[in-house]
Chain A
Amino acid sequence: MDNIAGKKSALSWAVHLSVLVLVVLWLLPTAGLFISSFRTADQIAATGWWKALFASEQNLALRTGAPDSARQAGGLYVIEGNLLEGENPDARIATWGTTPRQLDEFKAGETGTTRDGASLTLKADGSYRMESPSPFEGKRGERLFAVAKLPPKFTLANYARVLFSGNATDSMAKAFFNTLTVTIPATIIPILIAAYAAYALAWMNFPGRALLIAVVVALLVVPLQLALIPLLKLHLAIGIGKGYLGVWLAHTGFGLPMAIYLLRNYMAGLPRDIIENARVDGASEFEIFRKIILPLSFPALASFAIFQFLWTWNDLLVAKVFLIDATGKTTVMTAQIVELMGTRGGNWEILATAAFVSIAVPLIVFFAMQKYLVRGLLAGSVK
């Protein structure tokens, strides 16, 4: 399109740049939390997450081998070894000195003189060689101070703690299963109910059909806040109380208008011939529905399934009202994260990891089934 007028748009580079800026802006917040979930509490508190990807500079206090480890070679007393072995094997020394005030006295690889007059060569990888014509004295080795570059360091310890530790406040394992228990029936039941209703509304003739469709459209936007107290009262009165059954029914009720609307629109667009032919061939409505409509409607069913899954997985309000009782045994991940924000507001390593455990599943579903999600959005909104 840009070439129609005979020249490439001069705006092209600006477009690439602005899209890049947009994408970075939209990714940054999530990236921050994601990276933080792989850092230790100390790392998170010490530096911003954006510095985690790069090597960080740190001041190290080191000590050479003790005088009794010296050996004689060619008339000199020599101590050799590696200062970074053990604690910081991946670090690289940039500069070093013999007092904490002069960290940049020598560069890595240079030979310097210690306070005792010995000559010392310290390489970037931490290996050193200290030579002296006279024997080394004292019990302990020479103190050295260095500026070292530490490579990025990540840990899975947070995930181990949040998923497997069994720690009552931090563990998300139980909440994860609870969320799953809420989500799966709350996704499948409305699809089943809505598919039958949508078929009736799309392909069966009966009085009041148009009115019913209008009612469904109206109920699409009724705020579920209205339903909280009346339904909680109802659940308590008929003995369901707070529990899984209640939360499934609630999610089913709240998800139905969207489900019926989406599925009816899709089913109404299916070719009339197929259905009429099947009827002529003597198939019952139940058979037509099961063998023709359901398989053909798969894309619409998948779209709604994804919506409902994301919505129930991410829901906080419905779970808080209809599911979670005083014992907290049935808490879901969203509710537990809100709780963690209160009790562990400063512990970003726990909070970030817990949040990511709950975000991970929807993200996987999102990237795997994006096609259907987009299709559903378009069917549900564009008129």
Chain B
Amino acid sequence: MNPALQAVITIAIGVGGCIGYFYLANLILDKVLCPARGPNIGRNINRANMIRPWLFLFPAIFALGLYLAYPVVETIRLSLTHRLPGGGYEWAGLSNYRQMMHEPKFWEAMRNNMLWLIVVPAAATAFGLLAAQLTDRIRWGSLAKSLIFMPMAISFVGAAVIWKLVYDARPAGSEQIGILNAVYMALGGDTPQQWLTVPFWNNFFLMIVLIWIQTGFAMVILSAALRGIPDETVEAAIVDGANPFQIFFRIKVPQIRNTIVVVWTTITILVLKIFDIVFAMTNGQWETQVLANYMYDKLFRANDWGVGSASAMVIMILVLPILVWNVRNARREMR
């Protein structure tokens, strides 16, 4: 069958089924289960109103439970078991975790993830803040913002291709087609570098890709926050003779501290799960392994579900503090 036609049909079924559920479920509730007529009309309407929220919520609760809550429990279980060759599982205690702790690749992934965790949120937030502050003051600022924001729309894989061309290296003596090596040679470098294979530093070349993508996000949010600062505070500082740097660091930044924290944590969560960029650019070679890619290796290449699940749990544990903090914030807001 023509793929386009197939796509259209499958789309119609998927979306139609969804609309059908809500429409029919309401119809049945109102017309069959608790009809708003007859002797019990009052009781029926009350009953329908009690049932309806759950009717509206059911698909969401079902999907959330099945696709996010259940996997957490199941992953904990898998991380504590061994898979037996014929099928079935045996209790393994913490041996998967112990095995993982003894693998140098795991510690390499941990170290790199920590590096990512420190560098990427800090750099993206700093660049974002800089871009937000600078573009807010000039006439073509919104155009500049659009262009800095644009990488947000590009997939990690697309970004990987884009940056591989930047980092491309040709043998010494021939013309460089990667712009980084071209600049490096023009500045007097001796031989073209294979940037992605230089241990330790190659991590930073991978991080640049994510910083490049996330700066726009930070900029958009911080720029809105900067615009929300009351003018009086800035005016007062100017009257007191503060210079632009003092105004920025002493007046503006403290007032948007909460927003900075939100941006920082949002990027932190993203960094903890970073997979595509490493997978597409180095696949964890040359000491660039990260947790998510380590996990993918274990699950789908080594087929070791126990250790794979254990490493997924490590990611979950690292996310946990942010999760708790978010929930507490949300609850405080609702009161």
Could you say which of B93-101, B102-110, B146-154 contacts chain A?
B146-154
CB-based contact B78/A381 at 8 Å:
no
Cβ-neighbour of B144 out of A4, A23, A225, A378 (below 8 A): A23
**A382, B224: Cβ atoms closer than 8 Å:** yes
Interface 9-residue window, one of A91-99, A112-120, A158-166, A191-199: A191-199
Do A16 and B138 touch across chains, with their CB atoms under 8 A apart? yes
Contact of A229 among B231, B305, B315, B327 (CB under 8 A): B305
Is the CB–CB distance between A223 and B64 below 8 Å? no
Check: B198 CB closer than 8 A to any chain A CB.
no
B68, B182, B334: the one contacting A254 at CB < 8 Å is B68
Q: In the complex, are the beta carbons of A223 and B177 less than 8 A apart?
A: no
B263 (CB) vs chain A CBs: closest residue? A381
Q: Which of A137-145, A270-278, A296-304, A365-373 contacts B (4 or more CB under 8 A)?
A: A365-373
Contacts of A194 in B (CB 8 A): 60
Task: Please choose the segment from A103-111, A127-135, A355-363 that sits at the chain B interface, where 4 or more of its residues have CB less than 8 A away.
Answer: A355-363
- Is B153 in contact with A178, judged by CB distance below 8 angstroms? no
Given B6, B74, B75, which contacts A181 in the complex, CB threshold below 8 Å?
B6
Residue of chain B at shortest CB distance from A361: B153
Min distance, Cβ B158 to any Cβ of chain A, angstroms = 5
Q: Which of A61-69, A73-81, A146-154, A313-321 contacts B (4 or more CB under 8 A)?
A: A313-321
Q: Assess whether B131 is interfacial by the CB under 8 Å rule.
A: yes
Decide: B315 and A225 in contact? CB cutoff 8 A: yes
Q: Is A29 an interface residue (CB 8 A)?
A: yes
Q: Interface residue count for B (Cβ, 8 Å)?
A: 120
Given the interface pairs A4-B235, A230-B74, the reply to whether A15 lies near B68 with Cβ below 8 Å is no
Judged by a CB distance under 8 angstroms, whether B201 is at the interface is: no
B4–A249 contact, CB under 8 A?
Answer: no
B269 part of interface (Cβ distance < 8 Å): yes
From 23 to 74 in chain A, residues with beta carbon under 8 angstroms from any chain B beta carbon are 23, 26-30, 32-33, 36, 44-50
Contact between chains at B259 and A206 (CB < 8 Å): no
Say whether B165 contacts A352, CB under 8 Å.
yes
Which residues of B (43-76) have their CB < 8 Å from a CB of A? 49-50, 52-54, 56-57, 59-61, 63-64, 66-72, 74-75
Please give me the residue from chain A that is nearest to B292 by CB atom: A225
Q: Which of A185-229 contact B (CB under 8 A)?
A: 185, 188-189, 192-194, 196-197, 199-201, 204-206, 210, 212-229
- How many Å lie between the Cα of A7 and that of B252 in the bound state? 21
Evaluate whether A19 and B153 lie within 8 angstroms (CB atoms) in the complex, with A32-B179, A192-B22, A193-B60 already known: no
A222 near B11 with CB under 8 A, answer no
CA of A362 to CA of B157 in the docked complex: distance in angstroms? 13
Contacting residues, chain A, for B295 (C-beta < 8 A): 225
Check if A253 is an interface residue, CB within 8 A of chain B.
yes
A338 within 8 A of B: yes
Q: Distance in Å from the Cβ of B87 to the closest Cβ of chain A?
A: 11
Chain A residues within 8 Å of B176, by CB: 48
B168 smallest CB distance to A (angstroms): 8
B330 to chain A, nearest CB (A): 4
Could you pull out 11 A-B pairs where Cβ atoms are within 8 angstroms? A19-B134, A29-B179, A32-B165, A36-B165, A48-B176, A50-B179, A181-B6, A204-B56, A216-B64, A352-B161, A363-B150
